[in-house]
């Protein structure tokens, strides 16, 4: 099976059909027989081309005719440029493979692709340092210009530069030690015995990362560790529900925060893990069994109308990790920056407001409400909370923190803990 041809198909699905990159890559890896080396090359080409798409477009623009080039041809050229610029692949291999793929459809397109790539190799790469500030950041870090400007409305130029730079950096996944099944010092001892290299988080108590993926390890399969970003772990730590409490976890799938809260509560009390997706609820159920979570009750319910089903002032803690624009997780969701837009963000803000208003009524006086997002957009974060507090004088702000992606080797996140008062 031709790895580059599969990569072209995958890139076309992601960019033209707005398919999720991680799902497309996973489907292809599962569907087609590939060697370990080919899997690595396929994954690298797909993610890398998507990650640097606007940069690659900038490099190749002078060598494309002014006529409209078919999308698949553009994708083929961009993925070839990615290999030539960012990967240690011989020029002849990248060019010849691209020409062969093009020839399968039309030999004239093969000649065109060959000419474009040869012209690129004969000339120095275009310089983007003399562009204006927004366009330079857009091209250098491959983020749409509107998105760069959108970040700049909330953050200083130097901070935005660091955010964008972090977004294109490959990160190791964060894991959490599952203290329901094993103590942290016990598992670290096991890692040391087996000479497994790990790094402890400076942000959260049980956060850990590894040099190599651990998702297929015996430790993961036994439930001793689970994949969870450090900033996501901080959410449950800040809420810190006590054993014996009644907790609602809104928008809970895939259940990482529920499982973490169950560990903090020593499996004592009850957590209603709510989501509107049956498929995601099944995933939660599987995860809870692996992690030894016994106090979670999965509820198929829309967070916007939860007040129609739950009695007011009956819950000790509410965790609302609400739907958001996801602008803090662009290093993982490499396609998101090309597909999101201002209209979708405004719709998300309205949804967040509806969830806040509906669910906050369920909290007991003296209870705590944790609002979190994985975005850096202040309209969804600080401003959303301030708007809520203006209308709801019976809530006070107890804790507020924005985590920027470059600070702790984790995702960007916003966390705010509220308390219901008389």
Task: List the 296-300 sheet strands across, edge first.
Answer: 296-300, 269-275, 245-250, 315-321, 363-373, 413-420, 395-403
Domain boundaries, the chain: 3-122, 133-167, 174-226, 230-420
The CA-based diameter of the chain, rounded to the nearest angstrom, is 76
pLDDT value at residue 356: 96
pTM: 0.93
Q: How far apart are CA 165 and CA 152, in angstroms?
A: 14
As annotated, the active-site residues are: 374
pLDDT in 10s for each residue of the chain, 422 residues:
699 999 999 999 999 999 999 999 999 999 999 998 999 999 999 999 999 999 999 999 999 877 788 999 999 999 999 999 999 899 999 999 999 999 998 888 999 999 999 999 999 999 998 899 999 999 999 999 999 999 999 999 999 999 999 999 988 899 999 999 999 999 999 999 999 999 999 999 999 999 888 999 999 999 999 999 999 999 999 999 999 999 999 999 999 999 999 999 999 999 999 999 898 899 999 999 999 999 999 999 999 999 888 888 899 999 999 999 999 999 989 999 999 999 999 999 999 999 999 999 999 999 999 999 999 999 999 999 999 999 999 999 999 999 999 999 899 999 999 999 97
Task: List the 174-177 sheet strands across, edge first.
Answer: 198-200, 207-210, 174-177, 225-227
Q: How far apart are CA 304 and CA 359, in angstroms?
A: 7
CATH class of 230-420: alpha beta
Q: Domain 3-122 is classified in which CATH homologous superfamily?
A: NusB-like (1.10.940.10)
pLDDT value at residue 65: 76
Peptide bond into 254 cis (omega under 30): yes
Neighbours of 23 (CB within 10 A): 11
And the tokens for 181? 């099944």
Q: Domain 174-226 is classified in which CATH homologous superfamily?
A: Sun protein; domain 3 (3.30.70.1170)
Comparing CA positions, the residue from 247, 241, 245 lying closest to residue 264 is 241
Q: How far is the CA of 111 from the CAs of 71, 98, 121, 255, in angstroms?
A: 17, 10, 15, 51
pLDDT value at residue 1: 65
Axis crossing angle, helix 230-239 with helix 256-264, rounded to the nearest 10: 40
């Amino acid at each position: 099976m031709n790895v580059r041809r599969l990569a072209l198909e995958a890139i076309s699905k992601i960019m033209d059909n707005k398919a999720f990159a991680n799902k497309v890559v996973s489907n292809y890896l599962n569907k087609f027989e590939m060697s370990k080396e080919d899997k690595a090359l396929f994954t690298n080409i797909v993610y890398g081309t998507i990650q640097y798409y606007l940069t690659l477009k900038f490099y190749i623009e002078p060598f494309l005719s002014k006529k409209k080039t078919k999308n698949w041809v553009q994708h083929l050229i961009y993925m070839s440029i990615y290999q030539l610029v960012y990967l240690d692949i011989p020029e002849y291999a990248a060019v010849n493979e691209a020409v062969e793929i093009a020839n399968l459809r039309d030999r004239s397109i093969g000649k065109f692709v060959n000419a474009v790539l040869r012209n690129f190799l004969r000339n120095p790469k275009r310089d983007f340092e003399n562009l204006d500030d927004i366009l330079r950041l857009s091209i250098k870090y491959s983020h749409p210009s509107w998105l760069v400007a959108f970040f700049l409305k909330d953050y200083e130029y130097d901070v935005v530069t660091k955010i964008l730079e972090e977004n294109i950096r490959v990160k190791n996944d964060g894991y959490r030690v599952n203290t329901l099944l094993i103590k942290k010092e016990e598992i670290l001892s096991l890692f040391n015995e087996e000479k497994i290299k790990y790094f402890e988080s400076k942000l959260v108590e049980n956060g850990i990362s590894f040099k190599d993926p651990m998702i297929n390890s015996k430790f993961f399969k036994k439930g001793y560790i689970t994949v969870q970003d450090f900033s996501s772990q901080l959410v449950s730590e800040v809420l810190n529900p006590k054993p014996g409490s009644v907790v609602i976890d809104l928008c809970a799938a895939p259940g990482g925060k529920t499982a973490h809260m169950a560990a903090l509560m020593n499996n004592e009390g009850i957590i209603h893990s709510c989501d509107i997706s049956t498929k995601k609820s099944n995933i939660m159920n599987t995860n809870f069994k692996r992690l030894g979570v016994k106090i979670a009750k999965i509820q198929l319910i829309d967070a916007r109308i939860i007040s129609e089903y739950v009695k007011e002032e009956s819950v000790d803690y509410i965790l609302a990790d609400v739907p958001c624009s996801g602008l803090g997780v662009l290093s993982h969701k490499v396609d998101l920056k090309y597909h999101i837009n201002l209209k979708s963000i405004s719709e998300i803000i309205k949804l967040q407001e509806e969830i806040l208003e509906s669910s906050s009524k369920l909290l007991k006086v003296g209870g705590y409400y944790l609002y979190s997002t994985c975005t850096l957009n202040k309209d969804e974060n600080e401003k959303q909370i301030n708007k809520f507090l203006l209308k709801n004088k019976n809530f006070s702000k107890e804790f507020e923190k924005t985590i920027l992606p470059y600070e702790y080797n984790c995702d960007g996140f916003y966390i705010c803990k509220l308390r219901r008062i008389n």
